[in-house]
Chains A and B, each alone.
Chain A
Amino acid sequence: EAQVTQNPRYLITVTGKKLTVTCSQNMNHEYMSWYRQDPGLGLRQIYYSMNVEVTDKGDVPEGYKVSRKEKRNFPLILESPSPNQTSLYFCASSFDKNTEAFFGQGTRLTVV
């Protein structure tokens, strides 16, 4: 089954404690991206990756890092999480930037 898998689905952490949210896709897609979804603000792109070892900032990259060492994986790293990063995070992948994005199930992160 074609899918984008995120882990964990739910995470509560404390300010400053580094965390990683993993994302994996099994569709051999080249394009992957991370979004955060907040009430009243909709989905905002954090980072995207056109291919292995190619990443670029989206609209709200501050406080986040990503890496793309393999085609299937695109982890999101919060080196020092802060409460304003409490949000619902989605990973998405697509064949290229012009085609349909497939979204993961989401990761609800709470930073206290």
Chain B
Amino acid sequence: RKEVEQDPGPFNVPEGATVAFNCTYSNSASQSFFWYRQDCRKEPKLLMSVYSSGNEDGRFTAQLNRASQYISLLIRDSKLSDSATYLCAVNGLYGDMRFGAGTRLTVKP
């Protein structure tokens, strides 16, 4: 079983749609959780940290469920510029971060 499993995608959605990504992790000792965005041939960029209480940044909402060991990302009112690969990341105490396989999102006009 992979340490971090992520919706395979791809997701093709129209502008304005709401899209949700999920990710599950196997190590219950994991300490911190993140969503990264990666554009083609670029480095991953931190989108959001994910907290137990849930957190929101504009159109983006992230949630963590420690009991069920999953994290989620909701994007509301999708824009063309949201097209990218979204990677969930699960970090251990020693910085041993593991990424999900990534979900490719394409937002179409």
Q: Do A and B associate with each other?
A: no
| Interface, chain A (partner B; CB < 8 A) | none
